[in-house]
């Protein structure tokens, strides 16, 4: 199969117009939805918050923290691990992926779940992994702790949050 540098179809080789302002805003919104696994309704309620608080809420979701700790290979897998009950917070099973992790919370893998196939190679993955500065990871015990709130400069954003704010201010 040959991959061509243009879109398929009769009009694929014609020049493509740059996306409109609305199109750019929509693309940025969709990036956030994919990264954090949010629905339109969740996005709408989130963007009623101030920008700084919004970033904290997004980064301190349990599924995001599990991914940032390195307990899951991707954010989608982290969401599934939480919803299937493999993650405990302060020694209590939590199945809500949007659970807000607070400072001092201890996140770990349930002892009953450690024998699952998804966790077989976790020690190898964690050997070379370093979590963000606001999270502390104990690689031997497979547990992490939120030691402080993330700072805005610590959060690496592959999207423009201002464009999404403009999208929801319509």
Residue 108 to residues 69, 99, 100, 116: CA-CA distances in angstroms? 10, 14, 15, 14
In 62-118, which residue ranges form alpha helices assigned H by DSSP?
62-69, 75-83
Predicted local confidence at residue 101, as pLDDT? 95
Answer whether residue 98 shows pLDDT above 80.
yes
Predicted local confidence at residue 71, as pLDDT? 93
- How far from each other are the two terminal CA atoms of the chain, in whole angstroms? 44
Predicted local confidence at residue 60, as pLDDT? 92
> What value does the mean pLDDT of the chain take?
90
Domains of the chain: 23-57+153-168 (no CATH), 61-146 (3.10.290.10)
Predicted local confidence at residue 51, as pLDDT? 79
73 near 122, Cβ under 8 Å?
A: no
Answer whether residue 153 shows pLDDT above 80.
no
Model pLDDT for residues 9-66, shown as the tens digit of each residue = 888 888 778 889 999 999 999 999 988 889 999 999 998 888 778 888 999 999 999 9
């Amino acid at each position: 199969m040959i991959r061509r540098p243009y879109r398929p179809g009769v009009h694929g080789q014609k020049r493509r117009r740059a996306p409109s302002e609305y199109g750019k805003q929509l693309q940025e919104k969709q990036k956030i939805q994919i990264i954090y696994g949010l629905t339109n309704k969740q996005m709408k309620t989130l963007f009623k918050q101030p920008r700084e608080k919004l970033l904290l809420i997004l980064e301190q979701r349990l599924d995001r923290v599990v991914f940032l700790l390195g307990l899951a290979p991707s954010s989608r897998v982290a969401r599934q691990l939480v919803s299937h009950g493999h993650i405990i917070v302060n020694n209590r099973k939590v199945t809500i992926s949007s659970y807000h992790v607070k400072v001092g919370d201890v996140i770990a893998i349930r002892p009953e779940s450690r024998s699952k196939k998804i966790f077989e190679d976790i020690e190898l993955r964690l050997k070379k992994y370093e979590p963000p500065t606001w999270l502390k990871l104990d690689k031997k015990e497979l547990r992490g702790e939120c030691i402080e709130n993330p700072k805005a400069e610590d959060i690496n954003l592959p999207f423009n949050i201002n464009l999404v704010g403009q999208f929801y201010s319509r």
